[in-house]
Structure 1
Amino acid sequence: MSDAGAWGFTDDRGVALTAVHRPERVVAYVRAGAALLDLGVTPVAVYGSGHDGEVLDPVKAGGLAAAGVPYLGPGRTLDEEAVRSLRPDLIVDVTYDGKSAYALDEGVPGRLGVSAAVLSVGNELSLSAIIGRFGELGASLTGADGPGPDVVASAEAVLRSVAARTDVGVLALSGAGPDQVHLARPHAWPELARLQELGVRLLDPGPGAGANWLTADWEHAARLDPGLVLHDSRANAVGPDVFPPVGHARVAPWNPETPPSPAAYARFFADLAASLQEK
């Protein structure tokens, strides 16, 4: 905007937000807050989702804990007076349907008298578009250009080269217990869809109920014959120390809520390239 003090941003619900001054005190959903931190905006606090407990999930936290950003607990049970005491001038959440905030009760911003920016992380946008939208929000809050796409492009180029030299079948999943697993449908996840575009051979779990996941037993997962399993590493999922071996597949962590920042996804792509090359 021409006035350096004024601020405006249209979020992914189509809501036009304006303020006389650029927001400086941001409260955000953990995933959004971790991305904003990478982009130069340090939230005054973050909150979790319905999957989260009273302690910040270190997998979802990015650099938030190291930066000393307080965690307020799950968004649906927020202590609104505690939030009010932080004097926020913007709340940032994510949406999977382009309509409603994922982690926060819709009435909270209104009751607090605070504007809310809600950005899409669903599969109606490509991964690059999702990262770009967070970059636009970050730039609007800092008044400076954030990290460019070059860091992601470089990591993608390496991953594309590695994928072209391997034929490893990759299965992304979230462990539900020793007898049950949620198998990711690659097209439903922007980062998995991007991996397919880069030449990684993502395995589809097959027909059945569920738009994002197919819930099955571990024997079904093994029959898909993956060479590499990307397991949901969040605290609410069961890890490889509990779930049974998936055939002879190696395992590597996958955070389905990776912060939508260039730095975070560059690390994910670099780590996957290394995992694909392991023997």
Structure 2
Amino acid sequence: MSLSVLSRRGFLAAGLGATLLTLAACGGDEHKPAAGSAASPSAPAAGPWSFTDDRGKKLDLPKRPERIVAQVGAAAVLWDFGVRPIAVFGPHKLKDGSKDPQIGAVDLAGVETLGNVWDEFNVEKYISLQPELLVSGMYNGDTLWYVPEKSTATIEQAAPTLGVKLYGRSIPDLIARYGEVAASLGADLNAPAVTEAKAKFEAASKALVTPEAKQLKVVFMAGGPESLWIANFKDHIDVGYVKELGLDVVVPDKVDEAGYWETLSWENADKYKADVIFVDARAQSMQVPEMMKKPTFAQLPAVKAGQVYPWRAEQRYSYQGYAEMLEELSANLAKAKKL
């Protein structure tokens, strides 16, 4: 992973900078491939298939692809829309063997796994699965997330790739875009599971910022051994969305050159005053018990008041995923008070 890519997205995959490649790889279980994507019976795969992705790349195939491989974030969204990939790559298992939240509702017993950490992608296994399409999000230009640069040419020779831009757009727009991808792959966007989840997401969005919650100053952050990071809402679209809904989010005044964060030393942990702290809950970020060992963090008013809650910083971009995230945020905000 190049330093330019690492700095662009921060530590989404590889930890908080080059020194935090801490998420251990878990060996992929061997499973029989799933039969293919779970397309609506009313949407036959016969006939030509065409789709233009967010790179402006037009994909044309003789028939709709069914043997789909997806990065875990994309796989989780497609699964919620009713499409069943045959294999996944990216963080899907934690060190204790349990599911990584990033994989969402995907049944890991029914899919092949090609890799669990950054730069781990079993190309030979991928080719052996005879994939018809690879789907991944893009955080950095047109770079497919978790597709190793050194293997890109070989991977793209095996099957077409489809990229979805995960930055510079609103959450509702991104979810809808994934819906377009899923629909092209045979998903029924009018299925009860989808329409009910959309209604739940819309209700959760409206309910997030109560009069009481509007009075709270909140900060979204992550931590590492030597530094902490304050999230910039313009680059983290989930933070941008809750700010758009009316939450009073701390805006860092000195964002790093590559965007996404302001980097602070732990000595400056009190630079921004906040009533509530939301901490990146992903495995590669320092967890709150470790942060509590930093005296400057432990003495923050929000910490002393017990108003520190998880931030699901890489929630899947589906109606189900964001309804869950917003409901959790609402529940935690309801417990907090102005300090």
TM-score normalised by structure 2 residue count: 0.73
1:228 and 1:212 map into 2 onto residues whose CA distance is 20
Q: What SS class does the counterpart of residue 273 from structure 1 fall into?
A: helix
2:109 and 2:84 map into 1 onto residues whose CA distance is 8
- Structure 1 moving runs of 4+ over 4 Å: none
1:187 and 1:208 map into 2 onto residues whose CA distance is 10
Which residue of the partner structure matches residue 51 of structure 2? 9
Q: What SS class does the counterpart of residue 12 from structure 1 fall into?
A: coil
Aligned-residue offset at 1:68: 3.8
- Structure 2 matches for 1:103-252, cutoff 5 A? 103-104=146-147, 105=149, 106-112=152-158, 114-122=159-167, 124-145=168-189, 147-148=194-195, 149-160=198-209, 162=210, 165-177=213-225, 179-210=226-257, 211-244=259-292, 245=298, 247-249=300-302, 250-252=307-309
Aligned-residue offset at 1:80: 1.0
Where does structure 2 lack aligned partners over 5 or more consecutive residues? 1-42, 293-297
Asked if 2 retains the 8 angstrom alpha-carbon contact of 1:173 and 1:229, the reply is yes
1:268 and 1:165 map into 2 onto residues whose CA distance is 16
Identity fraction in percent: 28
Cα shift readout 1:90-141 (whole Å, capped 9, x = no counterpart)? 10111124422122133243232x011100101x211111111101111111
AA at the equivalent of 1:12: D
2:105 and 2:267 map into 1 onto residues whose CA distance is 37
Taking only aligned residues, the RMSD between alpha carbons, in angstroms, comes to 2.5
1:255 and 1:190 map into 2 onto residues whose CA distance is 12
Which residue of the partner structure matches residue 101 of structure 1? 144
Aligned-residue offset at 1:165: 4.8
Aligned-residue offset at 1:221: 3.2
Flag the 1:59–1:4 CA change in 2: closer, same or farther, 3 A: closer
Flag the 1:223–1:117 CA change in 2: closer, same or farther, 3 A: same
AA at the equivalent of 1:102: W
Asked if 2 retains the 8 angstrom alpha-carbon contact of 1:17 and 1:115, the reply is yes
1:64 and 1:95 map into 2 onto residues whose CA distance is 20
1:141 and 1:47 map into 2 onto residues whose CA distance is 19
Asked if 2 retains the 8 angstrom alpha-carbon contact of 1:13 and 1:100, the reply is no
TM-score normalised by structure 1 residue count: 0.88
AA at the equivalent of 1:131: I
Asked if 2 retains the 8 angstrom alpha-carbon contact of 1:218 and 1:246, the reply is no
Aligned-residue offset at 1:57: 6.3
What is the number of residues matched between the two proteins?
272
Asked if 2 retains the 8 angstrom alpha-carbon contact of 1:59 and 1:235, the reply is no
Q: What SS class does the counterpart of residue 106 from structure 2 fall into?
A: coil
Cα shift readout 1:224-262 (whole Å, capped 9, x = no counterpart)? 122221111111111101113361222221222211101
1:32 and 1:80 map into 2 onto residues whose CA distance is 19
Asked if 1 retains the 8 angstrom alpha-carbon contact of 2:45 and 2:65, the reply is no
Cα shift readout 1:143-179 (whole Å, capped 9, x = no counterpart)? 422524423211101113x2565411111111112x4
AA at the equivalent of 1:77: E
Which residue of the partner structure matches residue 275 of structure 1? 332
1:117 and 1:201 map into 2 onto residues whose CA distance is 36
